[in-house]
Every structure is written in structure tokens, then in C-alpha cells.
Amino acid sequence: MTSLRRMLGACALAATLWSNAAPADAQSAQFKGIAALSRELSARIAAPDLSVELDWFLPAPGLTELLGAWSAFGSEHTFQNGTPNTLNMVIYHVTLTNFARTLGAWCQAPPLKFDDRFAATLGRLCTWPAAAAKDDATLQAFWLALMGFAAPREEYEAWRTFFLTSSYRDRPGREVVPAMALALTLNPYFLLHR
């Protein structure tokens, strides 16, 4: 009987310790940081020898450090402000909205130079609601150019279905392209480390 009590006590203690340790061990999502996002976008959509810097689209100068940035103090390097919160989400939303609007403006007068392949994809999307713009190859090329392979296929399918079936299906490309880009860049698979 005593050994049974000891075993039950040990199991109860282990369960208590395990349940208390679980939240501490849980992984918290962290932003990639604006510099990392800029590097990813540059590698995928920028013309050779050029870059796409999301800093250009910030609502005010000096906000980069609030969006997840590496900080150095002596020999210590830490990633600061990487945890999503209300303030940095507002800044990300405004920044990515400005970026998405620039892609939409590209439909009328290209303000940025992109890689030829991305420029061709964007050119086809700008003809929305034409059939060529709604073609799966075009939509997938746009998705992969911005998102890369970070998201599962289901994310792409939900995004595609939304734009093909919602009120966006009949709107002009200059309105659809920014909405597509914003929906894509605010996706947690784009913004956060996984």
C-alpha cells in the first residue's frame, strides 16, 4: 500500500511539474524582422543588383527598431521587439499597406524596377479581371514571388479562392493587386518565424 501511494504521489508530482513546465516551453512566435523580410523580397522580386527595402514604406523614419531588429551592445547581440504586439502590428500594417499600394500603382506607372519574371507576373495581374490574370499559374507565381515556400498549400488555396469568388473578382487590377499583396504579406507565414 505504501509503495502504491509513493507511485501515485510521484505520478501526481510529475504531472504537476509537466503541466507547469508546458507553457514555459511553448514556442512564442517572433517576427522575422523588417531587414529579413526585405532580404527575402529582394531575393524574389527585385531586379538584379537592386533591392526592395521595406524601410522605404515605413510611415515615419526611425521605426525600424520597433519591427524586430538585431541590437548590439558590446559583444552581445540580441533580437529586440520581435514579439508581436499592438504597436508593431499597426506599424507593420501601415508599412505593408504602403508596399501593397506601390504594387497596385505599378499597374498604371511602374514606380519600382522588378525582376523581369515578377514584372511579367505583375503585368498579367494588372489586367484583372481578365482570364489571364485569374489563371492559376499567374496567381501561384505572384504568391510564390512574395511568400516563397513558407506557407502550406492550403493557405494559397484559401487566398486564391477568396479573390476569385469575392467582390474582388470583378474589380480592376489596380484595386485587386494591392489587396492581394496586403493579404499575402500580413499572413503569419510571411511575417513570423516558424
Percentage, residues of the chain above pLDDT 90: 58
User: pLDDT band for position 19 (50/70/90)?
Assistant: very low
Nearest to 115 by CA among 48, 51, 53, 56: 48
79 SS3 class: strand
Band the pLDDT of 20: cuts 50, 70, 90.
very low
pTM: predicted TM-score of the whole model, two decimal places? 0.80
CA nearest to 36, candidates 190, 182, 165: 190
Residue 112 has a CB neighbour count (10 Å cut-off) of: 17
Task: Return the closest-CA partner of residue 37 out of 21, 56, 24, 20.
Answer: 56
Preceding omega of 129 cis (within 30 degrees of 0): yes
User: Chain-wide mean pLDDT for the chain?
Assistant: 84
Task: Copy the grid coordinates of residue 161.
Answer: 479562392
In this prediction, residue 23 carries a pLDDT of 43
From CA 194, how far away is CA 179, in angstroms rounded?
24
Residue 13 in grid coordinates: 508530482
Q: Return the pLDDT at 79.
A: 78
- Domains of the chain, by residue range, sit at 29-191
pLDDT digits (tens, 9 = 90+) for 103-132: 999 999 877 889 999 999 999 999 999 999
Q: How many contiguous H segments (helices) and E segments (strands) does the chain have?
A: 9, 2
